[in-house]
Amino acid sequence: MAEYRTIDYRCPYCGHTFPVNMYDVIDVDSEPDLKDRCRSGDLFHVSCPHCRKEYMIQYPLLYLDRSRRFGILLSEREAAPFVHGVGPALVKEGYRLRRCTSLQSFTEKITIFEDDADDVMVELAKYDTFIEYTDNRKGTPEDISSIEYQRTENDVMKINVRADDKSMSFLIPVSMMKEEMEQEKELYKVHDEDFPVIDSAWVISLFTPEDGKA
């Protein structure tokens, strides 16, 4: 059984307090139900018994997939106490470790790793897609609401650019991305031990060194 804490949560709408179960670590192989609820976001969905408002609450949680060997920490801020010191041991066992700051990036990261795709490559591909979309005047940066990884199939990555009425899908060969990454191997190295955040801000930081690393 996955361990959870029950905390008294104060509703931000009515101030009423009600119990909410919060998990620290979810071992998804032994908890398929929790895995599904994590992926769908249902685990973070609460409804206040007093005012009946429904909303999402985000709290630090480590999603651990032992068969595929990856761990994703959902945490807005730096590492949560329960992951202190666990990084190096997991990396030794071949784990990829990441931190995600939002629920959206968290579920996307799970999809990327379940596809056995390289998330550094995915973020680069998204960046390239952004450049292509705006350079070819399909739309302006302001038109774009999000750029999302869809899937990898037959070594082709599908990236969606979401924009009001100008949404587009881009198909990007993995081999092409591999070539691009070969040229800057050092630049794209990540240190899994530290649960790094690999997202669009991280990619942008690579190309603007004066801002330092995200």
**What kind and span of H or E run contains 92?**
helix 87-92
Report if residue 11 touches Zn ion, rule: CB under 5 A: yes
Closer Cβ to Zn ion, 52 or 137, answer by number: 52
Report if residue 5 touches Zn ion, rule: CB under 5 A: no
Instruction: Give 96's strand partners.
Output: 70
Please report how close the Cβ of residue 15 comes to Zn ion at its closest, in angstroms: 7
Asked if residue 61 lies in contact with residue 156, where contact means CB atoms within 8 angstroms, the answer is no
Q: For residues 60 and 191, what is the distance between their CA atoms, to the nearest angstrom?
A: 20
Please report how close the Cβ of residue 5 comes to Zn ion at its closest, in angstroms: 21
Report if residue 51 touches Zn ion, rule: CB under 5 A: yes
CB-based burial label for 205 (10 Å; 0-12, 13-18, 19+): middle
Which one of 26, 28, 34, 48 is in contact with Zn ion (CB under 5 A)?
48
Which one of 7, 14, 56, 156 is in contact with Zn ion (CB under 5 A)?
14
3-state DSSP call for residue 208?
A: coil
Closer Cβ to Zn ion, 52 or 84, answer by number: 52
Give contact residues for Zn ion (rule: CB under 5 A). 11, 13-14, 16, 48, 50-51
